[in-house]
Amino acid sequence: MSDLVNLADILATVPGITAVIGGGGKSTLLATGGRGLAERGHRAMLATSTHMFPASGIPLVERVDASDDRIVQVGTLDQTTGKLGAPKASWSELAAAADHVLVEADGSRGLPFKAHNEYEPVIPEGCARVIYVVGASGFGRPVYDAVHRPQEFRRMTGVAAYEPATPQLVAAGICIEGLVGMPDDLVVVNQAESPESLEAARAFARALIPVIDCPVYAGSLRSGALCRLA
């Protein structure tokens, strides 16, 4: 890939609350992006509006004023599940205490793609940007095997459970949902590191662009290296 851009530099352009939705790398985006923002001198907070496993090696606090670290994760830890819940502080309090608040706003059970029901995603009040993540590892796999809530995906798109989740079909589902499309929103194709996965990401972007007017990036969220496709 050429013309690589660092994830933290992309995130730094829009301060405030960023809701991260979809599948295939949300938690990685929070951890990698948050660390990158902190390295650049920004104050970053990681949180969830639903539930998520805490990021390794990042201080966990329950109060927004409980640490002077450049990066913290805020929430209440459920000792039974090991997951973080939503923070006790309001979203406006978090936004006032940090330059960037990265919020995991839905769950996907580790699957590459996500179809949302009427209760999802849980977008925080005052959200400045939504980032929709998809995992390139799911392109071509059967819908039942690649999509969290496949019944919702089938209802939206009219496909059978055994049909492949092609780049065009995944793009159609995102367009139907209409959860991204504002100027500051982003769509990120994660796990697009091989020539084949990057070509699938390009096909996905071509299908998305005529309907959704926001940037599309592809690459590796783990390394933080992305290239802009649209």
Between CA 226 and CA 130 the distance in angstroms is 17
Q: Is 85 helix (H, G, I), strand (E, B) or coil?
A: strand
Question: How many domains does the chain divide into?
Answer: 1
Show the tokens assigned to 67: 């640490």
Count of Cβ atoms closer than 10 Å to residue 56 Cβ: 6
Between CA 161 and CA 144 the distance in angstroms is 5
Between CA 204 and CA 194 the distance in angstroms is 15
The better pLDDT of the pair 64, 59 is held by 59
Range name among 42-46, 78-82, 141-145 with the lowest pLDDT average: 78-82
Q: Is the pTM value of this prediction over 0.75?
A: yes
The better pLDDT of the pair 88, 3 is held by 88
Report the C-alpha dihedral over residues 95, 98, 99, 101, rounded to 10 degrees. -60
Mean residue pLDDT across the chain:
95
DSSP string, 39-84: HTT--EEEEESSEEPPPTTS-EESSTTS---SEEEES-B-TTT--E
**pLDDT category, 193, cuts 50, 70, 90?**
very high
Show the tokens assigned to 44: 């970053």
| Residue-range definition of the domain harbouring residue 222 | 4-228
Show the tokens assigned to 168: 């065009």
What CATH number should be reported for the domain holding residue 106? 3.40.50
Per-residue pLDDT, 2 = 57
